[in-house]
Structure 1
């Protein structure tokens, strides 16, 4: 245990140094990812690696560092820092308590699959992969690993929060659907205690509705500039509405398999893990239908549906990558 802690501390120091060097090289408008004192940041990072139930936050923070590092103009510097990033990732994944270490693979299912995608991209289009997923299927781990395999950016809810904060958005404006209490209401007038400024700011819309439309605009702007993997956020329907080519993937796994994984990743007993799956899957479905009119998880709405228990994390990444390569969608 002590040896594991020491390893986490050393890795945390390397992550902090990498973030600082990326910022020095780039002077990014996003600023540093880790903004506290060195000791505080290193301690916090080590805690995320050493058994925290919030270790998934480290994945988002690492992805944000990588997203910025990929924009460094000097090729030699960019290659050096990305090599360090990849080395750190390998070491993080070797720690039993870190993200990505609880796979979803069911050996008995991993034998029978085929894929196909109709060509729809031109040479001017960027590669965008939209991933929707049920809780506990390792979908976010798959999306993160896919972005690294393709050497493109990765965006999840936490990263969008950071981006919108730096674009002068309300820093609490995006709520992960997993923590939302209800689907947003229809357009309404300002309530008692609500300022007129906020009403004007959101053009009379409830805040969550306005944030969805702001995020829609941001996604379309990003799609014109870069390749990326995006988790959730109804991105597939947003890009379809903007007539922007993309690959849409839905990832799930058998309920019992997901329950077992959530028990491990969230340190829950079977009853609480089962209830959490049902509640959050229902909220995601309701949110998706509210903003898109589509049925969440319906195979007709996606290019590819994956049972991650049949492939595991790495196998799912290889499957999606192979589909992309075979259709000529990714140009290194």
Structure 2
């Protein structure tokens, strides 16, 4: 709704409220006045949210321009980049990917979101179907969930055996070390949302026809299995956060700030000639936390409360 339309609607509501009060001050009309005023407040709130959203999108543009510059540098230097987007359901991975790639050259990036493996793929080396999607020189591949499904989702829902899980956890560190050693830039982002915010987003998906497709059977169980996922997160960070392939935790309750800071992490991973050196490239420490620091936070929670809370 445009500001012009909002002002017209606001004027109509205010005029109606005045007429209602003057014409009949009875309880019935007082109730109608209250309803009209509530509608006015809702309009104002909606307009405020729209303005804030526009401002947030505008704030991303200088960094999206930098991402284009970085992409050009990767192409010119024939470098490969892989970005993993991991985290709980409804943590904001998909929205961030869309903002990161919005203005990029489609010829030089791909977004990969692999579905359930086929029977043939289950008989292959576990990493094989992911390796088939890896970038060539000058290309970026963004994984909307990756091989870390085996560290998080699969053990929680029993989609893999304990032996398969352990084989993965033993092998993934060496797999990533070899990947980086051979020149691939690997960025691992974990989007962390609170239980309350996840519940709110799930509720919105249930009632919003434009978002209902996002709600899967697994999503429905995510809240009930919150502690199980938290335990798997801890084990994943403890065993796979390395100096050559570190995790960056993105606090994503505030989607706008999460998207902006995820872009900063990506841009800081490449030494490229920046388009605007005066731009602030320093991630917000309240939003971006290293995997090592997150482990310290979780250990402290366990000592204080006897359980993990993030």
Q: Please indicate, yes or no, whether the TM-score normalized by the shorter chain is above 0.5.
A: no
TM-score in terms of structure 2 length: 0.40
Larger radius of gyration: 2
Which structure shows the bigger proportion of residues in helix conformation? 2
